[in-house]
Structure 1
Amino acid sequence: MDKPKMIFTGKVSYYFDLFRWLAALMVLIGHIKALFFVELSKVHEPSLIIKILYFIFSRGHQSVIVFFILSGLFISAGVINSLKGNTWNWKIYLINRLVRLYTVLIPALILGMILDKVGMSLYSNTGIYQGHASDKFILNYSIENNSNWLILIGNLFYLQGILIPVYGSNSPLWSLSYEFWYYIIFPIIAMTWYSKLFRNKIVMGLITLLLFAFVGKEIGLYFFIWILGFIVLLIPQNKIKSMKTKIALLGISVLFFVISLPLDRLIHKAIADFMVGISFSFIVYTILLIFNGKQIQKKNVDKYVKNMAGFSYTLYLVHFPILVFLHALNYSFGEKKWQPDIIHTTFGVLIMMFVLCFAWLISIFTESKTLKIKKAILSSFFKLKKTHQNVA
């Protein structure tokens, strides 16, 4: 474990931003399809195009695996670079990570709480918020029962999926607890590796085992998907010189990724997710091989993609309570699931555009302020530290 020292710029940064944005968009579209449109088996004489679109837009879970790989890539690179450069500081690291998470999480929980309470008040007759709706493809639990203060506080401390369920209707919060605990576990593993004192290795190794025991089997298992992003950085990149070979590897990795997408229907879900993670890791590796160090030619395109990726986290955290509210509104008019005809597909696109615009507006006051908030807190922290030193 000694490789990273990599700064992702230019075309590499562009593609990783694009992946982040597309993954968030796929989750959104997948949830719109699941909540508003009938299952494929109930579509009247589905065309080949409809079948393909249904398949593509049912891959929201696989998009979360993409998030995990990218997260593992960026977080691990930063941790290893700090440890190698003797600049590691737990306080700075936690401030950076927690500000990034809470700047969006707190507003998302408040928004979800408001939408759920209004939805439960207006549309209780639909049974959607009580878990009694006829359609239980996603909403297979009682939102009402999951909306107490204990669960809300537990979600603020990333205990969903460990000690408590997700708060309210916001089921995508499941992945946030995974991410948080990986942010804690990986640095401890890295410090165990880099520590020169055997005693420290034993202590940190025990802490790691305790954390894995605490988070449970599934979160612990998916850590080995998350860490694939780090493994990508350990693979030598200067061994392959031929551009044709690099492009061939990219083509093979993309094909492998496409083949892995439907595997959850054939094999155990966790194994299928590992296959998706491995194949996407190969895509990431080949992009580093081909594009690392190369600059974007069209700066306006790069800026556009960065702006979209800049609210992908907000989109992921706020979209589902909005969709559930609109879903309940739709049911209150007696409408059930839609056929994917032109009129209803247009409605679906309008819902998507509305949620995208809403998430972007929320991000202006949350996610876009992350760097400014980090700087303010870090500045206050160092001033406070200097004050204590002077007093001492």
Structure 2
Amino acid sequence: MNGKFFYQPSQIFAALTFSNGLAGPETSFNQPLWSLPYEVWYYAIAGLLFTKKPLLAISAIIIFICITSLKFQFFMYSFVWFSGLMISYIPATSEKHKYIAISSFVFFAFAALVAWILQLEKIIILGYYNATFGLFFTSFIYLFLVVLDKRISFLKNTSKYSYTLYITHYPILYFFLGMFESKAMNNIWFSSLIGIISLVAALIFASYSSRIFESKEYINKLM
């Protein structure tokens, strides 16, 4: 391919309509983008449901069923996405909520461990483990950030450029891996160093580029 990437019209159309990996081919170069169409359609479905208008709510259900019929993983991962939505509405003002949060955390931690073992044994597919771990992470967020009100000070400003980081981190990691692949493949220390450098580079790039691409003023000018 001489270092060039070629995309079929169907791939471009799928990316533009957020159907890549659902009804169309996946984006092969930036693999983490597989989750972007899932997220977009979850937002769309939730938005239609929250209008509380019967026709729009029915439309949301139809969309959900249609996408699920095309991609069962969409159904599996919906538990993760909507559980994250739900915890923002669940109060955490009593001891009862604390016990529920702790119980959920322990349960999903154990479930994620079991799913990981089953996935290693090829008994279940990776998607089941991912969904289970996602529910565990949701319970972790609810317990420590909502119920116990713990705050994470490490890299606390990443929320300002998290979306840019999500979109751009993989190409940057891929770039560094491509540059030093021959040395990194058989040297754990060198590969770890490259991993750290690429991670720092991804954070720096996202931090600065987000000031343009996540700037409301800049977006308003384009609109």
TM-score (normalised: structure 1) = 0.46
Q: How does 1:316-327 map to 2 (within 5 A)?
A: 316-327=166-177
Q: 1:168 to 1:260 in 2, by over 3 A?
A: same
| Residue of structure 2 aligned with 1:210, choices 58, 62, 81 | 62
Q: Which runs of 5+ in 1 are unaligned?
A: 1-119, 123-128, 130-143, 196-200, 381-392
Does 1:359 find its partner at 2:206?
Answer: yes
Could you tell me which of 318, 339, 345 is aligned with 2:187?
Answer: 339
Alignment of 1:33-182 (within 5 A): 120-122=1-3, 144=5, 147-182=7-42
Q: Distance in 2 between matches of 1:152 and 1:163?
A: 13
Q: CA deviation at 1:151?
A: 1.8
Task: Report the residue type matching 1:285 in the other structure.
Answer: Y
CA distance in 2, matches of 1:184, 1:336: 42
1:291 aligns to what? 149
Distance 2:14 2:194 in 1: 36
Q: Which has the higher contact order (CA 8 A, sep 6+)?
A: 1
Q: 1:326 to 1:236 in 2, by over 3 A?
A: closer
Is the 1:228–1:277 Cα contact (8 Å) retained in structure 2?
no
Q: Name the SS of the counterpart of 1:353 in structure 2.
A: helix
Conservation of the 8 A alpha-carbon contact between 2:10 and 2:25: no
Question: Which of 239, 260, 269 pairs up with 2:94?
Answer: 239
Query: Structure 2: how far apart are the matches of 1:207 and 1:346?
Result: 50
- Cα distance change of structure 1 residues 324 and 210 upon mapping to structure 2, 3 Å threshold: same
Change (3 A) 1:340 1:219: same
Q: Distance between the aligned counterparts of 2:76 and 2:103, measured in 1? A: 27
Q: From the CA coordinates, give the structure whose radius of gyration is larger.
A: 1
In structure 2, the CA distance between the partners of 1:338 and 1:310, relative to structure 1 (3 Å rule), is farther
Could you list the runs of 5+ residues in structure 2 that have no partner in the other structure? none
Identity over the aligned pairs, expressed in percent?
24
Distance (Å, rounded) in 2 between the aligned partners of 1:230 and 1:324? 32
Distance 1:312 1:365 in 2: 14
1:220 matched residue in structure 2 = 75
TM-aligned CA distance change 1:270 to 1:354, over 3 Å: closer
Q: How many residues align?
A: 212
State the Cα distance separating 1:178 from its structure 2 match: 0.4
Letter in 1 for 2:27: Y
Shift of 1:159: 1.3
Question: Which whole-Å CA distance do the structure 2 matches of 1:214 and 1:232 have between them?
Answer: 26
Pair 271,349 (structure 1): closer, same or farther in 2 beyond 3 Å: closer
Structure 1 residues 154, 289: closer, same or farther in 2, change over 3 A? Answer: same
Q: 1:330 to 1:281 in 2, by over 3 A?
A: closer
Which amino acid counterpart does residue 180 of structure 2 have in structure 1? N
CA distance in 1, matches of 2:22, 2:201: 33
Output one character per residue of 1:32-72: Cα deviation in whole Å (capped at 9) or x when no partner. xxxxxxxxxxxxxxxxxxxxxxxxxxxxxxxxxxxxxxxxx
CA root-mean-square deviation:
3.4
Q: Give the conservation status (yes or no) of the 8 Å contact 2:108–2:133.
A: yes
Q: Secondary structure at the match of 2:2?
A: helix
**TM-score normalised over the length of structure 2:** 0.74
Q: 1:177 to 1:229 in 2, by over 3 A?
A: same
1:161 CA displacement:
1.0
